[in-house]
Amino acid sequence: MSKDGTGGILVERKVLVVDDDVESLRLYGDMLRRAGYAAVTASTGWEGIDLAVKERPGLILLDLRLPDITGLTVLETLRTALSTKSIPIIVVSAISKDDDVMKAMQMGAFDYVVKPITYDDLIRRVELVFFSREGQGEGDQTPVLIVEDSAMDGSVLSEQLTSWGYQVTWVRTGREGIEQAATGNFDIILLDGLLPDINGFEVVKEIRATERLGTTPVIMLTVLSGLVDKLKGFESGVDVFLNKPASWEELRVRMRSLTRLRGMTKQRFVLSEVVGVITNAIELTEATEPRHNQKVAGISVILGKRMGVQGHGLWVLEMSGSLHDVGKLVVRRDILSKPGKLNSSEWAEVQRHSEYGEKIIKPVHGFGEVADIVRHHHEKMDGSGYPDNLKGDQVSLFVRIVGAADSYEALTSDRPYRRSYARDKALEILCKETDEGRWDPKVIAALSASLDDLDNL
């Protein structure tokens, strides 16, 4: 970890990818770069070890199947060498190789992803590494709630979890479990599927309905093993299913991963609040029109959902929409509020807001992707945008979405120089510009299908 000149904390956002498949290397490299990381690649195990020593990346993405030595050997070598043993490693595996994944986790891998990897899944896990770098040990007194009626199972479980560093509260009935969970004091809930009063599925449903953030991870431990039961469990909100008797190693690995995820969710909640403070500041200084940023965020999320974006991606869209014009805080107020036409140097200064925005956001932990979108939110598919005149595929999906949301919001709001357009007229203008090649037709189609939802923002 290093400090940059402005005092913000910068993490070495460099990722080493080790995979023998050229296509995968290209794909993961692209995904990482899109999310604001630098990617270094190696196609054999030995090359990977070599680069890990030379490049000192902040994270290694390691395929378990390699042509020269196995991924597990690479992992072991990196774990024993002094210069590489603290670099977090995410292993990549084919779905059928469950045993190897468990072995890798036992050998100290940070996390794992299963092929085929989606952008969302990969980036979420990578962000997790960079989010949770600082001093998070196992357990770390993370508060865990155990809901288990068997005295035997309950006490063994409590003892084991305490020895891993968790802070354990144990209750014996579903009702007590729901009551305790509602206090919001727990980061993980371990739940027996068969309880004397209410069954486990009902307990989870109730917890999901009552808890404050609705996101506490739930692990269900049960003797039920049928697929139908599992599906029922996932539907009611169970995150992980473990059959009784659960292997301690598996439970340990799952808990470690869920604790980190929980940490990130909580951190994101706080970050969203802070971003809310910033958008208030943008508005109060009249750098943008009232509620412009919140609305662009809302529209971006609606379009994203309609286009199949999920989880982490939706959060990125929300943050990018909220912050897209943050750079206007740095642009001279007399230029922003000038009633007449801007001369060319004034216009150039206004355009610089996207670069200023990127500069403001980039040093923030976990905001690499957001900073990239903020920089490019005025790019157009035909290359006529700014600041980098990106064209076609160079304009990422998220940039296309936030750009279109920004433009639609501007068209449907009053401006000093014109009245707002009705939504159909605004859409017509965007469709015409799509025909001219400026917007992604798929994004504009999603917008056209979402007009009713957008009215409610």
Contacts with Fe ion, residue ranges (CB under 5 A): 325, 406
| Shorter beta-carbon distance to Fe ion: residue 406 or 440 | 406
Q: Is 338 left (phi over 0), alpha (psi -120 to 50) or beta?
A: beta
| Shorter beta-carbon distance to Fe ion: residue 158 or 322 | 322
Q: Considering the complex, what minimum distance in angstroms separates the CB of residue 353 from Fe ion? A: 6
| Shorter beta-carbon distance to Fe ion: residue 97 or 291 | 291
Under 8 Å between Cβ of 345 and 362: no
| Shorter beta-carbon distance to Fe ion: residue 312 or 324 | 324
Is the peptide bond between 416 and the residue preceding it cis, with omega within 30 degrees of 0?
Answer: no
Q: Considering the complex, what minimum distance in angstroms separates the CB of residue 326 from Fe ion? A: 9
DSSP state of 329: G
Q: Which two tokens stand for residue 138?
A: 């196992």
Instruction: Classify strands 2-3 and 9-10 as parallel, antiparallel or unpaired.
Output: antiparallel
Q: Considering the complex, what minimum distance in angstroms separates the CB of residue 149 from Fe ion? A: 56
Q: Considering the complex, what minimum distance in angstroms separates the CB of residue 442 from Fe ion? A: 21
Phi, psi of 117 (to 5 degrees): -90, 135
| One-character DSSP codes across 142-179 | -EEEEE---HHHHHHHHHHHHHTT-EEEEE-SHHHHHH
Q: Considering the complex, what minimum distance in angstroms separates the CB of residue 119 from Fe ion? A: 25
Q: Which two tokens stand for residue 283?
A: 């508005």
Under 8 Å between Cβ of 270 and 364: no
Q: Considering the complex, what minimum distance in angstroms separates the CB of residue 406 from Fe ion? A: 4
| Shorter beta-carbon distance to Fe ion: residue 87 or 404 | 404
The span from the CA of 20 to the CA of 63, in Å, is 8
| Shorter beta-carbon distance to Fe ion: residue 239 or 325 | 325
Under 8 Å between Cβ of 169 and 180: yes
